[in-house]
Structure 1
Amino acid sequence: MELLNLSLAELQALLNTVQAEIKHRETEEKANAKKQILELAKSYGLSLDDVLSKATVAVRKPVEAKYKNPNDESQTWTGRGRKPAWVQAQLDEGFSLEDLAI
């Protein structure tokens, strides 16, 4: 089929036919995918609810601060991760971590 030789009406009809076929194939592929997913879940002994339920997420409670800035008690550090600048400044001045302990 040579597209350049088709009239506008023929091109629009062809477009409608193509769009309808795309929609039909998408519906078929989704149905097949759903069937495969359900079969796979069944083979592992899972129900549809098991597959769709959200996994429980462990809630972590915040870690308590172990150190505080003697110059500004609103600044604290848990002792985890990178040392804050105020901790490093205190250590550079000769303080130890034990001096900063809460």
Structure 2
Amino acid sequence: MAIDLKSLNHNQLSDLIARARARQDELVKEKATKLREKINALVKAEGFGLDEVLGRSGGAARGKARGKVKPKYRNPADPTQTWSGRGKRPRWFHAALTAGKKEKDLLIG
């Protein structure tokens, strides 16, 4: 099934690429499903459960939920606004730095 790529226009070529990528994704999913089935069969044949082999205890979630982090910085103009220092900087924090404040000036302490 040879396709003459030079004879295809832009839209036809884009469509072919999109269909090829979709088919490639299907093949990857099929292969992963078959591999998962083989692994499950091997584990069962050995008399184990998948959780035992993978070290999961009691079906616990993969990642541990993290608790709320204590605030590290406070907005001097509005003390109800705080920030833990994690994630994107709040607008008030950025504005305070632009206005000449230092990070240490905004620390809760």
**Normalised TM-score (structure 1):** 0.51
Query: Is the CA contact 2:72–2:83 (under 8 Å) kept in the aligned structure 1?
Result: yes
| Corresponding letter in the other structure for 1:70 | P
Q: Find the residue that maps to 1:72 and give its secondary structure.
A: coil
* Alignment of 1:72 onto 2:78: yes
Shift of 1:74: 1.2
**Cα distance between partner residues in 1 of 2:100 and 2:87:** 21
- Residue 51 of structure 2 contacts residue 59 of structure 2 at CA under 8 Å; is this kept in 1? no
Output the CA distance in 2 between the equivalents of 1:58 and 1:86.
Answer: 31
1:58 paired to 2:64: yes
Point out where structure 1 has 5 or more consecutive residues left out of the alignment.
1-34
Q: Please name the residue that 2:96 is paired with.
A: 90
Q: Which has the greater radius of gyration?
A: 1
CA deviation digits over 1:23-48, x for unaligned, max 9? xxxxxxxxxxxx96753322465237
Larger RCO (CA under 8 A, 6+ residues apart): 1
* Secondary structure in 2 matching 1:73: coil
8 Å CA contact 2:73, 2:106 repeated in 1? yes
TM-score by length of 2: 0.48
Offset at residue 63 of structure 1 (A): 1.2
Distance of 1:82 and 1:49 partners within structure 2: 37
Q: How does 1:30-69 map to 2 (within 5 A)?
A: 39-43=41-45, 45-47=47-49, 50=52, 53-56=58-61, 57-69=63-75
What is the RMSD computed on CA atoms of the aligned residues?
Answer: 2.9
Please give the alpha-carbon distance, in whole angstroms, between the structure 2 residues aligned to 1:94 and 1:81: 22
